[in-house]
Amino acid sequence: MSEDGPRLALATPPLAEARDFLPALDSALSAGDVASLLIRFAADDPRRNEEIARALAPPAQEKGVAVLVEGSATVALRAKADGAQIAGGGDALADAVKKLSPKYIVGAAELALRDDAMRAGELGVDYVLFEEDDLAALIERVAWWAELFNTPCVARAATLDAVAPLVEAGADFVLLDDAVWTDSRGPAAAVAQALAAIQQAEAKR
């Protein structure tokens, strides 16, 4: 468990530019305590992605939010982000750990098998991210990890209703993406609801 109890993390949609997304980001971050923001990119264009990260990172970091970029330790360093999230448990992840740890955060994602997650943990990552379309399978994976390993676990909630069950299963962080940005009430309302769900679920554990 993280020192502050379970917390909320956000991930952007895959972005081709930053300007149009800034109002939604500001709204989401104004709603309460967000631990981290993962910036996702629409294309494999390091220069453009660095520009996007440079635009989005400062407003989040000013609020105490750790900013991670998806897929590139180099973009993370050049954009002055707080770390990177890398897919899989292979060479790319190992290289990111060498480049970034311990000063910067390294997360591991797209871990299809339990062995992949364990391998990532052995590399010394700061967290593993679990994503499953089947909520029951995701809860099972989170509970397994939380019981056996010390490396923090991030669980992606596809809906706001999934937040509480994932906290109860033992997730250190719950990651929200589309459920926040597509909420008809606006991002702030979605974040506020998620934070309330985390608090209520933590009280049950």
Q: Is the pLDDT of residue 194 over 50?
A: yes
121: β partners: none
CATH number of the domain that residue 127 is part of: 3.20.20.70
Q: Is residue 177 part of a domain?
A: yes
The pTM for the full model equals: 0.96
User: How many distinct structural domains can be found in the chain?
Assistant: 1
Q: Please report the pLDDT score of residue 1 as a whole number.
A: 33
Assess contact for 73 and 95: CB atoms under 8 A: yes
How far apart, in Å, are the Cα atoms of 59 and each of 18, 75, 182?
A: 12, 18, 21
Residues 119-138, mean pLDDT to the nearest whole number: 97
Q: Is residue 198 part of a domain?
A: yes
Residue 193 lies inside a defined structural domain of this protein: yes
Mean pLDDT within 164-183: 98
Could you tell me if residue 2 is inside a domain? Answer: no
Q: Residue 1 domain-assigned?
A: no
pLDDT tens across 81-108, in order?
A: 999 999 998 899 999 999 999 999 999 9
Question: Range of 174's domain?
Answer: 7-204
Q: Say if 20 falls within a structural domain.
A: yes
